């Protein structure tokens, strides 16, 4: 079976890239079609993959400012020639599901979300604090992008959603049914630790929509220790807001992350995510999660057992959740057992079963 993988862009590490890693492990001989690839910003072992970019890769500043070229992505993905492939799997949060395939090809789209800046632009612009140039330049193209995105969805044979929330969005925006396969988490990397320390923790890219500013405001008022691990364009602003009990760790190497997670009092998750891999990693390390009650957190956190949820994105709500939840009384092994249902092995098994089912159906139809 000849397989191709499609990914939006390869210049930053996040949950989408964890999915791509797992897909490459499943299909190691499959080429990866993408818009751009910045090898200096990605894992070294990716340089051994068969990565095929399009013209976006050669445009000025595209490796660091891929947002500049949003109106061009639909056209760019239509330039990839995927004739002759039996199976195409697109790992999509942007436009990569718009590749054109032949009638004999099965196209499965693993949908992280319908394109956020197309269908939820006002929320996206506010959360990302887009600059004046982008706010002026992008909106005139949105009608075109929505029309293209809706038609591109018709090129997909089967949609897979990462959560119930994303399944609802797929049904609303694309009028399509979808299966749910949760994203892969390497839970084997993490183990509980009996030596829990007195600090709360957040791990992730420092960008506005994660509402880390609210977390800092809350912990400033509580005067409790908070460690923030990660880098991002919002770091300078956040550091200016932080009081003496808040520590910025910057980039934390993969080998140091398990210990950092296993020793935290609780993991904080104040933003809205479509799924949220970092909270699962924290739970795999036996630690509870205190999260905003929206998106994937509603599906992955069991109230009072693996953590607690707060209903409003505000500093007072965070304070109430932190002070009202006894993180010291949790059962670390029970939390870890809950996290293991999201392990990468389950993801691979489910993807393999789905591919076998859809390919068999294609053969029967043929």
Domain match, 180 and 199 both: no
Number of domains in the chain: 2
> For residue 133, what pLDDT is reported?
61
Q: Are residues 191 and 178 in the same domain?
A: no
Q: Do residues 103 and 238 share a domain?
A: no
Which residues make Cβ contacts (< 8 Å) with residue 302, sequence separation at least 6? 338
- 116 — pLDDT class (breaks 50, 70, 90): confident
**What percentage of the chain's residues is helix, strand, coil (to nearest 5)?**
45, 15, 35
CA–CA distance, 99 with 82 (Å, rounded to integer):
8
Query: Would you say 229 and 202 are in contact if contact means Cβ atoms under 8 Å apart?
Result: yes
Pick the residue with more confidence: 161 or 14? 161
- Taking residues 315-331, what's their average pLDDT? 95
Least confident range of 70-74, 196-200, 216-220? 70-74
Residue 179 sits at φ, ψ, to 5 deg, of: -85, 165
Q: Are 54 and 75 in contact (CB under 8 A)?
A: no
Range of the domain at 135: 3-184+344-365
CA-based nearest residue to 25, from 354, 344, 356, 355 = 344
Q: Residues 6 or more apart from 304 whose CB is under 8 A from it?
A: none
For residues 63 and 37, give the distance between their C-alpha atoms in angstroms, rounded to a whole number: 7
3 state DSSP class of 151: helix
Q: Is 351 helix (H, G, I), strand (E, B) or coil?
A: helix
Residue 197 has pLDDT above 60, yes or no: yes
Are residues 18 and 42 both part of a single domain? yes
How many CB atoms are closer than 10 A to CB 223?
A: 10
Binning pLDDT at 50, 70 and 90, where does residue 67 land? confident
Rounded to an integer, what distance in angstroms lies between the CA atom of residue 346 and that of residue 350?
Answer: 6
Find, among 111, 70, 61, 75, the residue nearest to 90 by Cα. Answer: 111
Going through 38-180 in order, the beta strands assigned E by DSSP cover 51-52, 87-92, 106-111, 158-161, 178-180
Q: Are 180 and 271 found together in one domain?
A: no
* Residues 159 and 19 occupy one common structural domain: yes
Return d(Cα 167, Cα 113) in angstroms, integer. Answer: 9
Contact 83, 104 (CB under 8 A): no
- Over residues 174-197, the mean pLDDT reads 95
Query: In this structure, are 125 and 21 located in the same domain?
Result: yes
Q: What is the CATH number of the domain that holds 260?
A: 3.40.50.2000
Q: Residue 328's pLDDT is what?
A: 86
**Residues contacting residue 287 through CB under 8 Å, at least 6 positions apart:** 192, 196, 201, 261, 262, 264, 265, 266, 267, 327, 330, 332, 335
Average pLDDT over residues 246-274: 95
Establish how many alpha carbons lie within 13 A of residue 244's alpha carbon, considering only the half-sphere containing its beta carbon: 0
pLDDT band at 364 (very low <50, low <70, confident <90, very high): low
Does 337 share its domain with 352?
Answer: no
| Cross-strand pairs, 179 | 160
- CA distances 299 to 240, 274, 306, Å, are 34, 10, 12
Q: How confident is the model at residue 123 (pLDDT cuts 50, 70, 90)?
A: low
Q: Report residue 365: phi and psi, to 5°.
A: -65, -40
Provide the CATH number for the domain around residue 57: 3.40.50
Same domain? 170 vs 203? no
Residue 121 has pLDDT above 70, yes or no: no
Q: Decide if pLDDT at 130 tops 80.
A: no
So what's the pLDDT on residue 25?
97
- Do 50 and 117 belong to one domain? yes
What confidence score (pLDDT) does residue 128 get?
A: 58
Residue 52, C-beta contacts closer than 8 angstroms, at least 6 positions apart: 31, 32, 33, 34, 80
Convert the pLDDT of each residue in 229-246 to its tens digit.
998 889 999 999 999 999
Q: What is the DSSP letter of 202?
A: E
Residues 33, 122 share a domain:
yes
> DSSP state, 32?
E
Residues 175 and 309 in one domain: no
């Amino acid at each position: 079976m000849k397989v191709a993988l499609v990914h939006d862009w390869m210049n930053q590490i996040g949950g989408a890239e964890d999915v791509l890693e797992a897909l490459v492990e499943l299909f190691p001989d499959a080429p990866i079609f993408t818009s751009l690839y910045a090898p200096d910003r990605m894992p070294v072992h990716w340089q051994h993959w068969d990565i095929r970019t399009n013209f976006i890769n050669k445009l000025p500043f595209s490796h660091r400012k891929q947002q500049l070229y949003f109106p061009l992505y639909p056209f760019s993905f239509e330039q990839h020639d995927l004739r002759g492939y039996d199976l195409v799997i697109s790992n999509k949060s942007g436009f990569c599901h718009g590749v054109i395939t032949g009638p004999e090809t099965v196209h499965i789209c693993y949908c992280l979300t319908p394109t956020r800046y197309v269908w939820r632009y006002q929320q996206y612009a506010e959360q990302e604090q887009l600059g004046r140039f982008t706010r002026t330049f992008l909106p005139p193209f949105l009608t075109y992008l929505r029309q293209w995105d809706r038609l591109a969805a018709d090129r997909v044979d089967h949609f897979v959603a990462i959560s119930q929330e994303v399944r609802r969005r797929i049904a609303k925006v694309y009028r399509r049914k979808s299966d749910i396969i949760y994203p892969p988490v390497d839970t084997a990397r993490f183990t509980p630790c009996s030596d829990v320390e007195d600090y709360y923790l957040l791990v992730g890219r420092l960008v506005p929509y994660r509402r880390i500013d609210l977390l800092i405001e809350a912990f400033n008022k509580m005067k409790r220790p908070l460690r923030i691990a990660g880098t991002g364009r919002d770091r300078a602003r956040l550091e200016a807001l932080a009081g003496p009990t808040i520590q910025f760790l910057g980039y934390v190497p993969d080998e140091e992350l398990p210990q950092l997670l296993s020793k935290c009092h609780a993991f904080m998750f104040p933003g809205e995510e479509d799924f949220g891999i970092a909270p699962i990693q924290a739970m795999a390390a036996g630690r509870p999660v205190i999260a905003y009650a929206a998106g994937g957190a509603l599906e992955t956190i069991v109230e009072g057992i693996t953590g607690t949820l707060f209903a409003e994105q505000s500093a007072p709500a965070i304070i109430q959740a932190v002070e009202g939840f006894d993180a010291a009384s949790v059962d670390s092994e029970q939390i870890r057992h809950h996290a293991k249902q999201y392990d990468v092995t389950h993801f691979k098994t489910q993807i393999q079963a789905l591919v076998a089912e859809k390919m068999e159906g294609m053969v029967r139809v043929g």
